[in-house]
Amino acid sequence: MVYSEETLTEQVDVLVMAAGTGTRMGAAERKQWLLLCGYPVFVYVLKRLLGFGVVSCILVVHPEDVERSREQLSLLGLSGCAVVAGGPNRQASVLRGLSACTRPLVAVHDAARPFLSATDFAAVLKAGAQHGAATLGHPVRDTLKRIDSAGNVCVNVDRGGVWAVQTPQVFARSLLVEAHRDAAQAGISATDDAALLERIGVPVHVVQGSKWNVKLTDPDDLEFMRQWEAIHCE
């Protein structure tokens, strides 16, 4: 299907994934509720996406957070964003979020990636519309080594052609639904949605994004977020 670039943001449902427990962060609160520029991280992400022209955001949260998430969004005038309870893992949470999607394109984005740029979002959205499956990513720069259980190097990994994958990942909704249903029936689990599309034979186009589109995972990432906040937030 051919889409007008000017109306692409009207053709996509963005699933903002905020259902994880964030145990590696080691915080008392789930990481998506940590504050950035005075807002919970997931709210900051939603406001950013809406500022890009997105008209449909669907927030997928931990089941325990459904009501307070709705209250938070209503308080901030974002009640138009749907809230869906996630499942026992990320893959199940995406599938539940898909049940609320109606537009021909679906973008899946981690709520823990608050530094997505408008340029990168537009680029991966365009690629997803053109190819049916696309993801942001960037080439790996560090030397890679595989380590054994004793902590010793057992092999050097050629980094040529190796990319670190980010979100958003953008898909034709019909293909994403097919990939998820097929994986569920086969008992297959994957770490990202692109892998499920690859599994059913759909090529995934990779768009080079900014290295600053980092995911908040551990305390070091939290420190980076606080430094970014000090520079960019009034």
Say if residues 227 and 198 touch (Cβ distance below 8 Å).
no
CA 143, CA 159: separation in Å to the nearest integer?
7
* pLDDT at position 30: 82
List the chain domain ranges: 9-232
How far from 125 is each of 81, 105, 136, CA to CA, in Å? Answer: 19, 9, 10
- The answer to pTM > 0.75 is yes
Listed in sequence order, the DSSP H helices in 6-149 are: 41-51, 66-75, 90-98, 118-131
pLDDT of residue 25: 57
Mean pLDDT of 40-48: 96
Q: How confident is the model at residue 24 (pLDDT cuts 50, 70, 90)?
A: low
Name which of 122, 100, 156 is nearest 48 in CA terms. Answer: 122
Rounded to the nearest integer, the mean pLDDT of the chain is 92
CA distance 82 to 148: 45
Q: At 58, which amino acid appears?
A: I
pLDDT given for residue 74 in this prediction: 95
**b/e 58-88 (16+ beta carbons within 10 angstroms → b):** bbbbbeebbeebbebbeeeebeebbbbbbbe
| Cβ proximity of 145 and 155 under 8 Å | yes
CATH topology of domain 9-232: Spore Coat Polysaccharide Biosynthesis Protein SpsA; Chain A (3.90.550)
> Across residues 61-76, what is the average pLDDT?
95
CB-side neighbour CA atoms (13 Å) of 76: 15
